[in-house]
Structure 1
Amino acid sequence: MRVHALVIGRFQPLHLGHIHALKYVMRQCSYMIIGIGSSQYSWTWRNPFSASERMEMLVRALRAEGVELGRVALVPIPDSTPDQPDWARIVLERCPKFDVVYSNDDWTRRELEAVGIVVKPIPFYRREVYSATRIRALMASGDNSWVKLVPKAVMEFMMEINGASRVREIWLREQRDAKGKLRLR
């Protein structure tokens, strides 16, 4: 089997559902490219962690899961911009050659299939439980139950970088900013 597969995610933060998906893709291919989506963003509610922090989460978690890291490449993939509106082209330019993309995101599927790329779905794993949005909300509220939803290696990394505190700080800042904007109207 000489299949090179691409998986793109934001991993904000990496959680056990992501790990389940990545291990599924690893069983389907000989080499996996993990695209770190929205790589140009950090310190926002949707994207609190930098691309390099997300790469660190992935390396630590995959290593702890026993994944052979020589079969994995990590590639930052920025979102399209007015200067570079063709996101599929960004993906093709940034990534090593791949044969197939695994994604459940409708927009990603449409963009890549439009340029002839084969896109296959990934079986969901307890999606109602494992959601990065939900995990960020738990972090923002000070609810430490988020630690059960991420790999131990990610939890440890979050502690090192004060990740939960950062998410709460970002949430509070964005709430203040939103209230200020409402008053200006």
Structure 2
Amino acid sequence: MIYPIVLFGDPVLRKETQDIPIGSDIKELVADMFETMHAASGVGLAAPQIGKALRLFIVDSTPMHDEEEEVKPLVEAFINPEILEEDGEEWAFEEGCLSIPGIREDVTRPETVKIKYYDADWNEHVEEFDDIKARIIQHEYDHVEGVLFTDYLSPFKKRLLKKKLSDISKGKAKADYRVKVPSKR
């Protein structure tokens, strides 16, 4: 099932997410999230982006990998994730977000991340990722913490984007996928 992507301005994107009880049957939700992400041409998707305040995100770094690379793409579900460490030199990279269509900006993040999580079979992992995999994980992890990539921008950049962000929150956004406009208060 393909879910609509929740747009900027929806309170669920800022809400505190809840751990998923260990052993819960979440395979269908994970499969739906992968289907939703692929339909939107994304490389990551967090549960809040489909309106669910759960500590869950998925990653498929395949589109970001060169076929010549020996390193395999990362395709994984991260359930109840906890970043244990971020390290290495910080580097800037232009990020975008399915919940904020049409806006891309440079965000600086550390080059490596060590994360503890469960996969969809409830196997526990503690792994370290670097480069683009770390970047995607950090971006999606931010979602389960109620943080958006725009939060990292300078006050000046935020002022420049204010109208665009306001328009997105009103549903005035161009996206090639189904979206859910924040309800009016």
Bigger proportion of residues as helix: 1
Same fold (TM over 0.5): no
Bucket of the pairwise TM-score, normalised by the shorter protein: under 0.3
Q: Calculate the TM-score normalised by the size of structure 2.
A: 0.25
Which of these two proteins has the greater Rg computed from alpha carbons? 1
